[in-house]
Structures are given as structure tokens and as C-alpha cells.
Amino acid sequence: MRPPLIATLLAGSFLSLNAHALDLLQVYQQALANDPAYASARASLAAGQEKSPQGLSGLLPQVVASGARSRIEVSPSASIYNKNYGVSLSQPLFNWASWKQYQQGKLASAASEAQFAQAQQDLIVRVSQAYFDVLAAQDTLASLQAQKTAITEQLASAKRNFEVGTATITDTHEAQARYDLAIAQEFAAQNDLDIKRNALQQIIGKPAGELAGLRPGVQINPPAPAQIDKWVGSAEEQNFGVVGQKLALESAREEIGRNRAGHMPTVTLTAGRNYSERATTVTNPSGFSNSAQISVNMPLFSGFGTTSRVREAIALEDKARNDLETTRRAAAQGARQAFLGVNSGLAQVKALEAAERSSQLALESNRLGYQVGVRINIDVLNAQQQLYTTRQNLAKARYDTIVNGLKLKSAAGTLKEEDLATVNTLLQP
């Protein structure tokens, strides 16, 4: 089998995988509809958005309707009937605890939005990672199958040469050993592909089928801006985990004020309209009455409970401040790692592309040398293995670089669906 035919078989393996294949955006849309972690985050957002109106309710009027009816027997021949119906309205005029609770409700609602935005970014990264893991496993399997085909050719050649006396049995044994190893590696690669497909299925809720691969010779753009400090600065301020912790710190501060309100007075306006009827065997008075009052309550002593709760809230504020710093540092470190991963990956891709060309030339030279008798079988086998290993590493480097680019934007808090669409343009149409 000539080298161009091997290349055709390898290309055909990849092309067959792309027939009627799903692309990254289609898989992402399935994940939006079926991923349970994302659905949980969406439900959490809906619940968190109710914190704001719940906090506001403590500042709004409370209207209560009441009614009672009773009968009192004062003697065997005399009874008293009481009927009372009324509507009362209570409006806080000054309640510092309720005001702070309202502020906390708005912060909790904003925090739930930040958590959901983080969940959206996590879904983009998880889908992309699982997608390209499947592609990498497919490439490995296809490469091993093509390598097995090439080894089969070399094994047949070694056997023919041994039969005619132009080669030793050693060449046959070496080719057979490489063939047996390729068979074992193929089984392992098939198992790894099944595992990667199951991981993607766990996100989208059903088998993904065939996936679109990268276009040949695809070019990956470097990070923009090219300065790592700008990415780190963005991560420290805009990362949604950091934003959520900032809101948690603000809420902890409001909690201190809410607990300190235990030392403050409350002022409440109460108004009502009542109808009462009192009937006896002698009289039957009834009628409507209106009432309005402003009440002031001043706490004097609560058994040191208020003071203790204030100290607890201060300690929790300190905890929230340190949690914010931990999250900020983790976001900055994530941005640094992803930025370096992208740049390192780009350099690795460039080097492996050169290595692939060199390995192809080396394989062709060793095949020619084997045919004219200046190279032995093991040289050809080693050159084949080097070429296919280089191709696997090149494909994996491209996938890792793309995913690191998405992780970089996620760490900086700027990852959007448009970025996923940009990556999707790198795939086979």
C-alpha cells in the first residue's frame, strides 16, 4: 500500500465521522434544554429573584380582616350575643430592621443572577470540554486504526521478504509485536471513546451521535488583549464568582445593621374600621367605629440577645470578606493558568505542525530506504509510530488550546454564547 493511500484512508476515517454530524452549537442547545445542573441553576435563579419582593413586603401596608361571634349564657333565661367584624391596616413608619431586610432582599436577588450567569459560563465550558474530549478520542482511535493498517502492510512485507530470503525472521517478529500492540491500543482507545461519549451524554441527556471535527489546517487566534495583567484584572473584578462574593459581603454588612435595629424604636401607624353588635334579652346596641393610632415601641432590654447577634453578624462579615479574597485570588489564578495555557498551546501547535511535516518526510525516507535495503523494518515501524503519535498530539493540542481560550474568558467574566459561535466556525461545515 502506497503512502498516499494510507493518508486517504486516514482522511476517510475522519470524514466519515463528519457525515451528518452535530456541531458544537447544536450540542450546546441540547445541553441548555437537558442539562440538570443548568436546570437547577435556572430554578435557583427563579427562587432568588423572589427575595427582593419578600424584603419589600416588610415596608408595605399590612391589611387584615377579622371577625368573631360569641354567645354567653348568664342565666337559663338570659344570653348575650357578641358580633365583631373589622378591617385593620398597619403601616410601618420607621422600622430599621425591615429596611435592612429589604436591602438584603435586593442583594440576594442580584446574587442569584450572578450565580446563574456563572452557571451559564460553566455550561459553555463543560459542553466544549466534553465535545472536544470526544473529538480527541475519535482522533486517537482513527489514528490507531490507520497505524494498524500501515503495520499490517509492513508485516506482510516482512513475511514476503523472509520467504524470499532478503530479510530475517526478526523483521517479522518486530512487525508482529507492533501489530499486537496496535490491537491492544485500539481496544483501549475504543473504550476511552465510549467513556467520553457517555460524559457528553450526561450533559445533553441523550447520545450525541457523530460530531463535526475541526477544519483541516485551522488557525487559532491568540488571546486579545495580549497582556496577562488585563485578563487578571478583569477576573478580579468581573468574574461572576467574585461578583457573587461581593454581594455576599454587602449582605453581611446589612445583616449587622439589621441586628443593631434591635436597639432602635419602631413606629407604626394602625387604622381600622369595625362593626360590633351586642345583643341581650333587653338591649340590642350595634354600630360602626373607626380607629387610628401611631404606636412607638422602644426595646429596653432583651437579655443581651441583640448584642450577641450583632457580634455574630460582625464575625460573619469578616468571614464574607475573607471568602471574597479567596474567590478573587482563585479567579486570578484561573485566568493566569488559562492565559498561559492558550499561549503555550499555540506554540505547541506550531511546533507539532512542523514535527508532523518532518515525521511524514522521515517515514517516506525510511520506506524508501527499506525498499533499497539501507533501512530495516524496525526503522519504518518507528517512523510510522512517530508520525501517528505526532498527529494525535497535534489534534489534542488544538483542542486544549481552544478550551483554554474559553476558560480564560470564563475566568475573566466575559464568556458569552457568541464566543461559542466563534469556536463553532472552526468546525467542519
Instruction: Let me know if residue 324 belongs to a domain.
Output: yes
Query: Is the bond preceding 225 in cis, omega lying within 30 degrees of 0?
Result: yes
Same domain for 416 and 290 = no
Q: Which of 246, 280, 298 is the last residue of a domain?
A: 298
Domains in the chain, number? 2
Which helix (H) or strand (E) is 414 found in, with range?
A: none
Residue type, 252: A
Buried b (16+ CB within 10 A) or exposed e, 117-132: bbbbbbbbbbbbbbbb
Beta strands 266-279 and 78-94 are antiparallel
Q: Which of 298, 323, 349 is the last residue of a domain?
A: 298
Instruction: Let me know if residue 31 belongs to a domain.
Output: yes
DSSP symbol at 261: G
Q: 3-state DSSP call for residue 394?
A: helix
C-alpha cell at 279: 345583643
CATH number at residue 86: 2.20.200.10
> Please, is 56 exposed, middle or buried when counting C-beta atoms within 10 Å of its C-beta (0-12, 13-18, 19+)?
middle
What value does the mean pLDDT of the chain take? 88
8 A C-beta contact, residue 414 and residue 234:
yes
Closest CA to 419 of 364, 408, 428: 408
DSSP symbol at 343: H
Query: Can you give the C-alpha Rg of the chain in angstroms?
Result: 37
Tell me, rounded to whole angstroms, the distance of Cα 75 from its chain centroid: 76
Residue with cell 521478504: 161
C-alpha cell at 98: 425591615
Instruction: Let me know if residue 110 belongs to a domain.
Output: yes
Closest CA to 344 of 234, 220, 198: 220
Instruction: Let me know if residue 200 belongs to a domain.
Output: yes
Q: Which residues contact 119 (CB under 8 A, 6 or more apart)?
A: 37, 38, 41, 42
CATH number at residue 160: 1.20.1600.10
C-alpha cell at 421: 459561535
8 A C-beta contact, residue 398 and residue 352:
no
Which helix (H) or strand (E) is 374 found in, with range?
A: none
Q: Which pLDDT score, from 0 to 100, does residue 403 have?
A: 96
Same domain for 420 and 285 = no
Q: Which pLDDT score, from 0 to 100, does residue 371 have?
A: 80
Same domain for 286 and 401 = no
Q: Which of 298, 321, 347 is the last residue of a domain?
A: 298
Same domain for 235 and 311 = yes
Q: Which pLDDT score, from 0 to 100, does residue 111 have?
A: 95
Residue with cell 482522533: 139
Q: 3-state DSSP call for residue 251?
A: helix
Q: Which pLDDT score, from 0 to 100, does residue 284 have?
A: 58
Same domain for 313 and 235 = yes
Same domain for 225 and 123 = yes
Q: Which pLDDT score, from 0 to 100, does residue 243 have?
A: 96
Same domain for 210 and 180 = yes
Residue with cell 454588612: 253
Q: Which pLDDT score, from 0 to 100, does residue 33 have?
A: 93
Same domain for 203 and 70 = no
47, 114, 121, 398 from 33: Cα distances, Å? 19, 20, 15, 28
Same domain for 80 and 103 = no
Q: What is the residue range of 293's domain? A: 61-94+265-298
Q: Which pLDDT score, from 0 to 100, does residue 281 have?
A: 52
Closest CA to 27 of 130, 113, 118, 104: 130
DSSP symbol at 147: H
Instruction: Let me know if residue 398 belongs to a domain.
Output: yes
Distance between CA atoms of residues 380 and 365, nearest Å: 9
8 A C-beta contact, residue 223 and residue 344:
no
Distance between CA atoms of residues 302 and 305, nearest Å: 6
Same domain for 169 and 290 = no
Instruction: Let me know if residue 429 belongs to a domain.
Output: no
pLDDT tens for the 429 residues of the chain, in order: 344 443 443 444 444 444 467 899 999 999 999 999 999 999 999 999 999 999 999 999 999 999 888 888 777 777 778 888 999 999 999 999 999 999 999 999 999 999 999 999 999 999 999 999 999 999 999 888 888 888 887 778 778 877 777 667 887 888 788 888 889 989 999 999 999 999 999 999 998 889 999 988 888 999 999 999 999 999 999 999 999 999 999 999 999 999 999 999 999 999 999 888 877 655 556 778 888 899 999 999 888 999 999 999 999 999 999 999 999 999 999 999 999 999 999 999 999 999 999 999 998 888 888 788 777 677 877 888 888 889 889 999 999 999 999 999 999 999 999 999 999 999 986
Angle between helix axes 3-18 and 96-164 (nearest 10 degrees) is 150
Distance between CA atoms of residues 268 and 166, nearest Å: 108
> Please, is 283 exposed, middle or buried when counting C-beta atoms within 10 Å of its C-beta (0-12, 13-18, 19+)?
exposed
Instruction: Let me know if residue 356 belongs to a domain.
Output: yes
Same domain for 218 and 174 = yes
Alpha helices in 239-289, H assignment, sequence order:
240-260
Q: List strands edge to edge, sheet with 286-297.
A: 62-75, 78-94, 266-279, 286-297
Same domain for 180 and 270 = no
Instruction: Let me know if residue 307 belongs to a domain.
Output: yes
Distance between CA atoms of residues 324 and 318, nearest Å: 10
